[in-house]
Amino acid sequence: MFRAGDCGWTLKAVGAKARPNDGGPHARAQPDVPRLTPLSLFGLFAVTAMLVAYALESRSTWWILVFAGACVLGSAYGFLQGAWPFGLVEAVWAAVAVWRWRGSRRRG
């Protein structure tokens, strides 16, 4: 009778490369640890800045402009990492935020 793992190889995940099964027939493959690249750090900064600026918008109209700038950074991140729909949506959000900032400056 054939059991999974008897061949000496296991797969880590869908699309992952096979590796030798060193721990016997019932050993589980260890997942790859994701690496924090400079691009990932840039994206984390952009999204964190958007969140903080959005939370502080009621304190000053300048936070709306900061939010717009953070959306531009998020858009750049989206395009750089290859997720052009995300980059496009963030660019639209930046334009909407600038439009809101200009309107709030006229009222206030």
Residue ranges of the chain whose pLDDT lies below 70: 1-30, 108
Q: What pLDDT, in 10s, does the model give residues 36-56?
A: 899 999 999 999 999 999 999
Yes or no: say if 87 and 76 are a contact pair by the CB < 8 Å rule.
yes
The domain ranges of the chain are: 1-32, 38-107
Sequence-distant (6+) residues with CB within 8 A of 39 are 77, 80, 81
pLDDT of res. 56: 97
User: Is the pTM for the entire model greater than 0.85?
Assistant: no
**Could you tell me if 5 and 27 are in contact, meaning their C-beta atoms sit under 8 angstroms apart?**
yes
Burial 64-78 (b: 16+ CB within 10 A, else e): bbbbbbbbbbbbbbb
